[in-house]
Structure 1
Amino acid sequence: MHQVRRVAMLSLHTSPLEQPGGGDAGGMNVYVRHLALELAATGVAVDIYTRRTAAAQPDSVELAAHVNVHHITAGPFAKVTKEELPELITEMADAVADHVAALPGDPVRVIHSHYWVSGMAGILVAKRLDLPLVHTMHTMARVKNNHLPPGQTAEPGIREDGEQHIVAAATRLIANTTAEAAELEGHYDGCEQRIDVVSPGVDLKVFKPAFRDRSRKELGIPAGRFHVMFAGRLQRLKGPHVLVKAAAILRAERPDIDLQLSFLGARSGNEKYDLVQLIDGAGLAAAATVHPPVGPEKLADWYRSADVVAVPSSSESFGLVALEAQACGTPVIATNVGGLPRAVSDGRTGLLVDSRSPKLWAAAIASLHDFGDTRADMGRAASVFAEAFGWENTATQTIHSYDLSLTYQYLPPPGC
């Protein structure tokens, strides 16, 4: 029987209630939401804290039985950029601590923060309430800066310093993969004995193989069209422009490929990145379309409508899109960075590309087009591969990390 019956999760810069795919909403939103739901299914109550961005937002929203999202007031009733959020850390921490201390029923036993801003606030909350802090980075500044694509602004020094402080102060650190655990050790001097590797999950009830032809028909994808799909925030880090450039190469070198590109997502932050303009500039307006983000059920249809799902990120802690697509039986082409080699089995469920060179991406797309039987085999293997990543496994491993945080709250584990 696990020791923790209630946990407070901090997701202060983005809410699990928001639609992933635009602004600051992405894989982390999916992660927090589904982890909380699965924890509740095992008997752990979850109180999620996020910053109020509009006066009309309710104080609390019941996401499910024993899962509540609380809007705490700190700063203006408006969206605040991630660059401005550090100024609100102390105010957010005070609001969270006050709310947690006043909760009725079972007491919160663990603070679990997500992303560095929440981690900095989490340190203050944990100290004030005398609770252990478990932290999940999701992405890291020094890792992103090491893989910085042209035109992308480097993560600020305040974030690097904040993450360094979190690694030193957190009771336990959760990494998505062994590669991320190694990055915590190598870039931030993280103690191996305080790092728990917990793979993110996928909702296998929604993302599953189904009638591919029906999905294509419903979404207007003609038979015989080679459909390559991208889902995520439209920003340079995620790399949709790589697909546009690769498609331009294929149009010139492989006119026999009847290619269609579909991009699902919205722009993120203040970055000057106009994907539609890039598409028009490449002369691909007839072959590429940009669609707004959609909910999980419709997203699964899009995955199933694709011959290939592309994940051309320059940095990715894990790659939930890759996992969701494979769960739908669709092979993935992904950049060989971060956690993507864990999420995609190269040569079995998809292909890993060693850079974001459009020429290499064009070659990878062409290879899966030319070998249809191999692509079909990859799709079948992908759906089987994804079955090992249900959210219940993520919750079980996370609970173990919580229990360890209670064990070592005041005394570091051996070797640290």
Structure 2
Amino acid sequence: MRIALVSMHTSPTEIPGSGDAGGMNVVVAEAARALSARGHEVVVATRARADLPAGVTRLAWSGRAAAGQDPLSPVVAVLPAGDPELAKGELPGVVEQFAAELRALGRFDAVHGHYWLSALAAQRAWGGSAPVVTTFHTLAAQKNALLAAGDRPEPAVRLNAEAALAHSSFVVAGSESELAGVNAFYGTPALGSAVVHPGVDTALFAPRSGGAGSAAPLRVTVLGRVQPLKGQDLAVRAAAELAIADPGLFARTEWVIAGEPTPGAADYAAELRRLAERAGIAARVRFLPAQSREQAAALLASSALVLVPSHSETFGLTALEAGASGAPVIAAGHTGLLEAVPDGVAGVHLSGRDPVAWAGAIADLLRDEPRRAQLAASARRHAELHDWAAHAAALERIYATLAG
């Protein structure tokens, strides 16, 4: 098949944790590679920006993904649409222009829009000739229902577009939670739906031999875009509570927040540093930039614990990657994290946002090395059940059915 994966507002070539790049970028890139490995011609379409000029390139294969294979790399088509400096909130105004550029790419057997802007543009480009598959990644109505303090609710234009797409395209959800949200907020998708979990590269994201040693600090990591939705402030507050409750244990820890603020979240990122300073713990809290895939894998594998304090997650790919790396996860017990981090298997769920409770759960696991080792082993086994080849095979079946 000739397959179009549309990612209008962000490119799969970007580093997750920078700008608007996150788990969706990983899903699009890995799905493109895995579909290509199955013999399909894959074109990933994204919008040109000042830092991403228009043109055509290829989504390079890593040595891991291409081991024993020589597939054709997916094409990345960077299409001009509006001023390259447009902010994300202004992109609805150039959907029609982007759709015209999509049409110029020719006919496709399968069209998959990632995020509502992409699906809307794909429908306007090819809706009359091919059924469009939509993956929302972050569901606006669900996000608004679980909105973080200080975060802006998603606008009506997005809510209305998602509702329309739910009834005019085939919906692929990243988790049972996301699909339940679609059904609850927008109604049952008229053209059908399916849950296709993301995969994980278990060769790259893997436990590392020769641990850090008993003298090394116990690393507690939060990895991802810095924004109110991801709730990094809860991790800093929990660190402060642990410093009060058990100064000796806290002195053995190192807290890492890795990622860059999304556009509009610079004040939130600055407040995280101020929180650490006011609590007197800034010396033990490190702020790192966005991590490459290789850097992220090394960071997770070196962590005693990984925290995912998000207000909501479509799935929680970072949590799955942490488990593959042998790092137990303490996660907010809701939405897609229920599937990415099975409680008692890949980590521990916490039901509220009380930093004292989070500090207690963190302390319990840091003190209990056998329990951490048990969770690390079972988290790795859980991650091994999630494979990008299986992800692509599930998409292929959906595309073939719709094309038929």
| TM range, smaller chain | over 0.9
Aligned match of 1:358? 355
Distance 1:355 1:212 in 2: 36
1:125-274 equivalence runs, <5 A: 125-127=125-127, 130-170=129-169, 172-191=170-189, 194-211=192-209, 213=211, 216=212, 223-257=215-249, 258-271=252-265, 272-273=267-268, 274=270
1:332-351 equivalence runs, <5 A: 332-351=329-348
1:69 and 2:76 matched:
yes
Paired letter, 2:102: V
- CA distance 1:58–1:74, change in 2 (3 Å): closer
- CA distance 1:352–1:56, change in 2 (3 Å): closer
- 8 Å Cα contact 1:60-1:71 kept in structure 2: yes
Hey, which bits of structure 1, 4+ residues long, moved more than 3 A?
Answer: none
Report deviation, 1:208. 1.1
1:84 and 2:80 matched:
no
1:315 and 2:312 matched:
yes
Distance 1:303 1:91 in 2: 41
- 8 Å Cα contact 1:309-1:333 kept in structure 2: yes
Gaps of 5+ in 1: 102-106, 408-416
- CA distance 1:44–1:208, change in 2 (3 Å): same
- 8 Å Cα contact 2:52-2:78 kept in structure 1: no
- CA distance 1:95–1:206, change in 2 (3 Å): same
What CA deviation, in whole Å up to 9, does each residue of 1:51-73 have, x standing for no partner?
00038725101114240101100
Gaps of 5+ in 2: 61-71
What TM-score does the superposition give when structure 2 sets the normalisation length?
Answer: 0.93
What TM-score does the superposition give when structure 1 sets the normalisation length?
Answer: 0.90
Report deviation, 1:49. 0.6
- 8 Å Cα contact 1:203-1:390 kept in structure 2: yes
Q: Paired residues, what number?
A: 388
What CA deviation, in whole Å up to 9, does each residue of 1:303-353 have, x standing for no partner?
111100111000100001000010011101111121101011211221011
Distance 1:270 1:232 in 2: 16
What CA deviation, in whole Å up to 9, does each residue of 1:269-289 have, x standing for no partner?
112212222222222111101
Aligned match of 1:28? 24
RMSD: 1.6
More deviation, 47-56/308-317: 47-56
What CA deviation, in whole Å up to 9, does each residue of 1:366-407 have, x standing for no partner?
110121111111001111110000111110111111122224
Report deviation, 1:81. 2.3
Paired letter, 1:36: A
What CA deviation, in whole Å up to 9, does each residue of 1:61-110 have, x standing for no partner?
111424010110011122x3221111111111111111x22xxxxx5211
What CA deviation, in whole Å up to 9, does each residue of 1:253-306 have, x standing for no partner?
111212210111001111221222222222211110101112112211111111
Aligned match of 1:327? 324
Give the secondary-structure state (helix, strand or coil) at the position aligned to 1:35. helix
